[in-house]
Amino acid sequence: MMSTKTATLNGPGLVYVQFPVSPDLAHSAYDKRENDKIASYLLEKGLLSHASQWKCADVSQGDRYLMLYQVVDLAALNAKFHSLSTSDDLLPTTTSRENKRVASIEAYATFYSLAETVGKHEDGEGDAHRLTHIITAGMQPQTSESSAELDRWYREEHNEQMSKEPGWTRSRRYRLAKLDKKGGSPTKHDASAPEWMTIHEFGDGNRLSDQVEPLDPVTDWTRKIMGDMASIEAYVWKNAL
């Protein structure tokens, strides 16, 4: 039976927002200009340390965009997040269109708590603005035991293996921290959110293709871990800024 545990909604973390994009961008959930404005506000208020936008490299997935909000403190952001769509005090120049955009962000957002950072900029954003690609790996273990082993696999084997890839700069691992929206009811999106989310960051010189490929060699432990997952969603994303 699939088991999902969540982390406490406090301390540093991530808001992971993936948007579908319709052929008519005017009616899409993703609008770069308005999302930039919301991110700028949250950065100005000290709620975020960094915000980035990405486009899925795999054209077979259609037009898909991802926003990553690096959160200073999840509890503080959570206190402000919902009121963005209803309070003119938070966004004085907000239009009804922008309010709808915040509602769209909420509809697609998943909150994660930071579990581990490995890389060249462990204490800050460093050269985050120079990143060209990321890999996202969302993994849902089948049991609490397989979740614990997944965590150990990253710490004892996979992090080091990934760090040897060309262009790699940092990996950050997160654990699901929030399932409920307004009113306390889980959304369909939240119900399917993976317990673990890893963001692998890459700069110039990387050899990533449009789809995630297994690292060489594929170890016996890696095969076991993959077999113990109820679901795995992994994508390559290109910087959309």
pLDDT at 82: 58
Q: pTM of the full predicted structure? A: 0.82
pLDDT at 42: 84
Q: Which residues of the chain have pLDDT under 70?
A: 1-5, 20-34, 81-107, 120-129, 179-191
d(CA 213, CA 204): 18
Q: Over the stretch 152-167, which tens digit does the pLDDT of each residue have?
A: 999 999 999 999 999 9
Burial bucket for residue 202 (CB in 10 Å: 0-12, 13-18, 19+): buried
Q: Over the stretch 45-64, which tens digit does the pLDDT of each residue have?
A: 899 999 999 999 999 988 88
pLDDT at 130: 82
Out of 1.10.150.20, 3.20.20.70, 3.30.70.100, 3.40.50.2300, select the CATH number for domain 13-239. 3.30.70.100
DSSP state of 67: E
* Helix, strand, coil percent values for the chain (each to nearest 5): 35, 30, 35
Pairing verdict, β 133-141 and 64-71 = unpaired
pLDDT at 64: 86
> Which candidate, 95, 103, 108, places its Cα nearest to that of 67?
108
What b-and-e string marks burial along 73-94, b requiring 16 or more CB atoms within 10 Å of the CB?
ebeebbeebeebbeeeebbeeb
